[in-house]
A = this chain, B = another copy of it.
């Protein structure tokens, strides 16, 4: 076989991620990545079918860094789930610009599959039944994605909240009062609080076993 590849997919993804980190997601283009690598635009297409596929590589690079080793089973399930959620959040949060990409590509990501597998294992061991497992997993995944998004575009302490707190209090009494308070809540505190709420709900579901009967 002639002429070995001079670039790995990881190198390609790294270059694209560098462009994103430097110029933002809107700065990502085939031409920019090619320049980053010192090659011509069309040379990229030897490694990638599509811009879409390049984005997938970037997502995989970031999400692949998530530690998916199952946490020690001596700690309670709740804490283990917190650990898994925290790892996912940390890795995505390190590159907030790619959040929109994760939304589009996560369902094809092996890293997310591995993560889901481990979380399902924890849930199963904790005693969640079939249908409950699905709902709990989707709920957790949805929460992390949603929370990261909210954090990224307009956290509680950001300009948006300030604007809200200046709304006419007669038309938005609760909202303006709440926004005043919300400015003092850190993003970590908010994330932890929301997760706490979700986990309490899961625990309640586990205790009662009701609400979502499996199909069987």
Q: Assuming A103-B103, A141-B146, A146-B146, what are 8 further A-B pairs, CB within 8 angstroms?
A: A107-B160, A135-B197, A138-B150, A185-B215, A197-B202, A197-B211, A200-B200, A201-B201
Bound CA span A164–B113, Å: 9
Chain A: interface size category: 35 or more
Q: Does A66 contact B (CB under 8 A)?
A: no
Instruction: Find chain B residues with CB under 8 A from A146 CB.
Output: 141-143, 145-146
In the complex, the count of this chain's copies comes to 2
Is A18 an interface residue when CB atoms closer than 8 A count as contact? no
Task: Verify if A147 is at the interface (C-beta below 8 Å from B).
Answer: yes
Q: Given A149-B103, A181-B134, A142 and B193 touching (CB < 8 A)?
A: no
* CB contact between A201 and one of B103, B149, B198 (< 8 Å): that residue: B198
Binds B, one of A2-10, A28-36, A84-92, A116-124: A116-124
Interface-located stretch among A40-48, A57-65, A167-175? A167-175
Binary flags per residue of A139-161, CB closer than 8 Å to B gives 1, else 0: 10111011101100110100010
